[in-house]
Amino acid sequence: MNKRRKIKVCVISDVHLGFVGCKAKELNRYLESIEPEILIINGDLIDIWQFRTYYFPKSHTKVLQHIFRFISEGVKVYLLTGNHDEMLRRYSGLLLGNLTLEDKVVLELDGKKHWFFHGDVFDISMQGSRWLAKLGTTGYELLILINKFINFFLELLGKPKSSFSQSIKRATKRGVKKLHDYETTAAEIAIDNGYHVVANGHSHMPDIREITTENGKVLYLNSGDWVENMTALEYHNSEWKLVWYKDLHFPKTWLKLEDGDLP
């Protein structure tokens, strides 16, 4: 086994286990490569909206095994709830050893207050139209399947893969953000509460940027997702960075292993 990278904090979100578009195999490789002190799962670990009893591959189960391994090794794991696993919110405040289940959490890292929560509570598309959001998710699942089919033929022709599903999703989110920018709302509340950093998921748009308002400024983070972008946030040596799976390097033997059979 290759030596794991030691990091202070790792943040992942929008894994969507149980959804056909989940890149669980890639996430397993990533989790196997790190040794965090704190793991924050910032919402939508399991896609309860799209959950099917007949679809939960080995690689999806392996993600859960990786999380339990971290817990057994002494890693502090915060499982934060999102809109796709919102039924877990009734159990918020649950503490089981190194595992904490919450809707949000505030941590002080190197003297700076960090506010972590999924972000759906400030998304206007989620307000009063939950059925519409679910309908959109079903359409997104179909789009992912069509995209896989097209990419299969593109690969046979030796052409680069396309992700029009991601392009459509981004365009839709831009329209929503014009109506109500929940990221700015989160930043404003963070500033009002004296937080230095606010971290969301939900939008599937990985980001690190400074947001300035008339009352101050805050560092805004978004951990992206493990459906298309395959990104995570890492905090090490007092600095946040956005990590893309496509930029990481893994042993060739890992890449050849079957679904769910990573070391």
Mean pLDDT to the nearest integer, 155-179:
55
Helix ranges, the chain (H): 24-32, 58-72, 130-156, 164-179, 182-192, 252-256
- What average pLDDT does range 84-107 have in this prediction? 94
Indicate the domain borders of the chain: 5-256
**What is the arithmetic mean of pLDDT over 8-22?**
95
Closest CA to 209 of 180, 181, 228: 181
Homologous superfamily of 5-256: Metallo-dependent phosphatases (3.60.21.10)
The answer to whether 210 and 219 are in contact (CB under 8 A) is yes
pLDDT tens per residue across span 182-234: 788 899 999 999 999 999 999 889 999 999 999 999 999 999 999 989 999 99
> Which two structure tokens, joined as six digits, stand for 229?
């972008």
